[in-house]
Structure 1
Amino acid sequence: DADILLRSSDIDAQDFRAHKCVLSASSPFFCTMLSLPQPPDTSNELPIIDMPEPANVLRALLHFIYPIPDPDINDLDSLVSLLIPADKYEFTDVLSRLRSLLVSPSYLSTEPLRVYAIAARFDFANELDIAAQATLRIHISNYDLPPDFQYIGAEMFERLLRFHRRRARAAQRLVVMGDLTPCAACNGAHAGVPSTQTMYGPPRWWTTWKIRARQELELRPSTEVIFGMEFLMKSVKMAECTYCAESLLGSCAFLGGLKEMMDELPLSI
């Protein structure tokens, strides 16, 4: 009972049977186009709309529009190929689902810069913030810009760099000594401090960690690395103090609070 054909742009063009009412309900663009007066058709053939999209894109797009399972989108190239027509033809519901896919953990963890560029290209404000946050885990200077940046210009990359610098400075300012468990060897009772006096200075692991953490935040202003056990224990090892590990373990509550404060820094780009 289809009443219209969508013809793909391939050399071996494919026709997709569709329904005007479904297209009109899904897209203001099609609603307007299909409501325009048409010349009388004396043939029994269905009207054809020549589409600029290839068959694989039209097929996937129709899967999103009709009440059937959504197609599998396995890479960002496929996602962008659908975002372009979904945006152009104003398929609002399709766009909403594609936007959710764009910021899925698999893409954010492996290609955060590209997700950022795609979000900027289509003016997805919320997804732009999410992607910018994901880029905090990488050292941007070590990455080649993905080709998607050609669609958005240098200003958006500079905006991301400013966000990284702003976030790094704010996180570095939070790295100050707090309620640390003293180390028995380097700043406690066995460090030459009389039991009647207040212990002085930080344990050596903290001094080492503080320096390393500030350096790491300069490159990757994220809490993911500096509060990881590998990073913390390396600081203990570099401090060359027998009892610093006990001090570190006793200071977990303070470190957890410090991490939480950093994670709560403003995330909007």
Structure 2
Amino acid sequence: MFSEPDIQVSYHPLFGSPDADVVFRSSEGTYYRLHSFVLRTTSGFFRSMLSLSGSGSSPDLSSDASPIGLEEKDGVLARFFTMISGMEIPQWDTLDEIEDVLHAAEKYDTPGPISIIRSAITSPRFMLDPLRVYAIAARYKWEEVLQHAAEACLAIPIHQQEYIPVLKRIPTDDLLRLIDLRRERRDAFIHAIDNEVQFTSGCSRDKCACGRTTDHHPWYALKLSVYMEMDERPIVRNMNDLDWEVAKKCWSHKCTYCGRLVYNQIATMECIRPCVDGLPLQLRPRI
């Protein structure tokens, strides 16, 4: 009569202590030993599960033969268990990694890991993808992170095709808040330069310094280009650095009578600066 071969159990190197009294198995077959005290104090889900298992006859949770099977992969569980155990957390590499662990933290009702991730997600490496950070913050109603991400989103053209999958993930109200902020900045800037910025320093709106009526089409063309740019990215770049052909034509435009430059670029930019500084940055309150 042949005996059954022994099952080879592979424990994660950080979670193999024989003193721990609860055994888990990942979807990839790796085993994890954790102390029930840690699970009870950090997770509402495991607290309830362990309370139920403690009533009446139940399997031995510390046995390799009857581990608690979890659907998460090793990359997720190792980070998640590290966080609830108070161990050093490896550096996050991608937003995919953060979202996977965040879903596990939400599923198992562990506020500690969720708060850690909330602080980590605004690091510079993740703010390179601010719209996705905004989507994550909207899902969990992290208002401070949402505001931070919204400001970073001003520099990207969110209406382009590549951003549509992420836009679809954002709750409607928070998506409208982001769109409203961008539109308010665009419209406020155009309104400000229409009302507060003179065409040039030391002359009227219609005449050159020589007293002759001049053509202001280059200025109108520049404003239109700025408007279109702000519709895409309402961040307002420094117009001194613009490489647009319309900007070059505007600043080099001369009076047809006296040959003077019609627009004083430096003086105009000094007038524009406070217009930029006064643009709205805050998302409207959540409905």
Relative to the length of structure 1, the TM-score reads 0.75
Q: Distance in 2 between matches of 1:2 and 1:189?
A: 85
Preserved contact between residue 205 and residue 244 of structure 1 (Cα < 8 Å): no
Q: Distance in 2 between matches of 1:267 and 1:14?
A: 45
| Correspondence for 1:115 among 128, 133, 149 | 133
For the pair 1:88 / 2:107, whether they are aligned, the reply is yes
Preserved contact between residue 207 and residue 214 of structure 2 (Cα < 8 Å): no
| Correspondence for 1:172 among 190, 199, 206 | 190
Offset, 1:202? 11
Offset, 1:61? 0.9
- What is residue 211 of structure 2 aligned with on the other side? 193
- What is residue 38 of structure 2 aligned with on the other side? 22
Q: In structure 2, what residue type is equivalent to 1:72?
A: Q
Moved more, 250-259 or 56-65: 250-259
Offset, 1:74? 1.0
Residues 182, 232 of structure 1: CA spacing in aligned structure 2 closer, same or farther, 3 A cutoff?
Answer: farther
Deviations 1:26-65 (A, max 9, x none): 2222223223324366797377322121111110112222
Q: Distance in 2 between matches of 1:53 and 1:16?
A: 12
- What is residue 197 of structure 1 aligned with on the other side? none
- What is residue 102 of structure 1 aligned with on the other side? 121
What is the CA RMSD across the aligned residues, in angstroms?
3.8
Residues 245, 112 of structure 1: CA spacing in aligned structure 2 closer, same or farther, 3 A cutoff?
Answer: farther
Which contiguous aligned blocks of 4+ residues in structure 1 show a shift greater than 6 angstroms?
184-190, 200-205
Preserved contact between residue 23 and residue 63 of structure 2 (Cα < 8 Å): no
Preserved contact between residue 118 and residue 145 of structure 2 (Cα < 8 Å): yes
- What is residue 230 of structure 1 aligned with on the other side? 241
1:31-110 to 2 correspondence within 5 Å?
31-36=47-52, 37-38=54-55, 39=57, 45=63, 48-109=67-128
Preserved contact between residue 185 and residue 244 of structure 1 (Cα < 8 Å): no
Residues 34, 171 of structure 1: CA spacing in aligned structure 2 closer, same or farther, 3 A cutoff?
Answer: farther
Deviations 1:61-120 (A, max 9, x none): 1222223221221111111111101111122121112123333333333x2332233333
Identity %: 26
Q: Distance in 1 between matches of 2:265 and 2:243?
A: 8
- What is residue 131 of structure 1 aligned with on the other side? 149
Q: Distance in 2 between matches of 1:159 and 1:100?
A: 22
Relative to the length of structure 2, the TM-score reads 0.71
Preserved contact between residue 236 and residue 245 of structure 1 (Cα < 8 Å): no
Preserved contact between residue 26 and residue 65 of structure 1 (Cα < 8 Å): yes
| Correspondence for 2:225 among 212, 219, 223 | 212
Offset, 1:257? 1.4
Deviations 1:157-215 (A, max 9, x none): 55644443344333332233536694589989973139xxxxx9998875554332222
- What is residue 248 of structure 1 aligned with on the other side? 265
Q: Distance in 2 between matches of 1:30 and 1:43?
A: 12
- What is residue 259 of structure 1 aligned with on the other side? 276
Preserved contact between residue 172 and residue 214 of structure 1 (Cα < 8 Å): yes
Offset, 1:5? 1.6
Q: In structure 2, what residue type is equivalent to 1:34?
A: L
Count residues in correspondence.
258
Q: In structure 2, what residue type is equivalent to 1:212?
A: S
Preserved contact between residue 172 and residue 217 of structure 1 (Cα < 8 Å): no
Q: Distance in 1 between matches of 2:171 and 2:143?
A: 16
